[in-house]
Amino acid sequence: MRYNFSVKKVGIMKIGVGVSNRHCHLTKEVYEKLFGKSELTFKRALNQPGQFAAEETVIIKGPKGSIEKVRVLGPFRSYNQVEVSKTDAYKLGINPPVRKSGHLDGASELEIIGPKDKITLPCGIIANRHIHISDALAKEWGVADDEPVGVIIDGEKKGLIEAFFKTSSDGYLEIHLDTDDANGFLLKQNDTVEIKFKKKD
């Protein structure tokens, strides 16, 4: 792994952990097909501004099994994507690639079943570990979108993992890990991890 150690500031960033359970993003068109209505039902806000968990859930089905009550996240996207862990993938009988959100090349085919209809799409991925960060903070720290960085995990099961920065105008500073990663390091929602940088020479 190669990381950027060109940050001018002393480089210890404390970042909150967001544990991302299996979920799906839908286009408005597919949502209407599955649910027979046009709008998502707000359940609760997520940490990333403008994003929320909806009341609606779907069943996802693969060649070997299915998983119920998979949460739909809002708002609507321009693509359909189901994010699962490797453990979920074994149950479903699929071998999804690790991808950034919205990058669906090679995505596993899944049947998405709603209360009104169902659809089969190449939409299943394992989301790569990523750190949401605002454009302003990324500029201050000297990091760029899609830049890899080492994340140091303390606690009973210490370790070093790789994640990628995901910049946006109003990104809330947080690392997103799937349930396999979180369980493997005994991490839970709102725990903290550190990213350490060297000073610029």
CA distance 192 to 145: 21
Q: Does 139 share its domain with 95?
A: no
The number of distinct structural domains making up the chain is 2
Contacts of range 92-95, beta carbons closer than 8 Å, 24 or more positions apart:
92/60, 92/61, 92/62, 92/63, 92/64, 92/65, 92/66, 92/67, 92/124, 93/62, 93/63, 93/64, 93/65, 94/62, 94/63, 94/124
Q: Does 69 share its domain with 158?
A: no
CA distance 52 to 116: 23
pLDDT, one tens digit per residue, over 23-74 is: 999 999 999 999 999 999 999 999 999 999 999 999 999 999 999 999 999 9
Domain termination residue (choose one: 127, 148, 167): 127
Q: Could you tell me which residue, 162 or 201, shows the higher pLDDT?
A: 162
pLDDT at 7: 43
What does the chain come to in residues?
201
Q: Does 88 share its domain with 144?
A: no
Q: Does 25 share its domain with 79?
A: yes
Written as six digits, the tokens of 183 are 């369980």
Closest listed residue to residue 129, CA positions, set 184, 177, 174, 190:
177
Q: Can you give the pTM of this predicted structure?
A: 0.90
Q: Would you call the peptide bond into 63 cis, given omega within 30 degrees of 0 as the criterion? A: no
Domain termination residue (choose one: 98, 127, 156): 127
Confidence band for 3, pLDDT divided at 50, 70 and 90: very low
Domain termination residue (choose one: 109, 127, 145): 127
Structural domain including 181 reads 11-18+129-197
Strand partners, 131: 165, 175
Confidence band for 106, pLDDT divided at 50, 70 and 90: very high
pLDDT, one tens digit per residue, over 128-162 is: 999 999 999 988 888 889 988 889 998 899 999 99
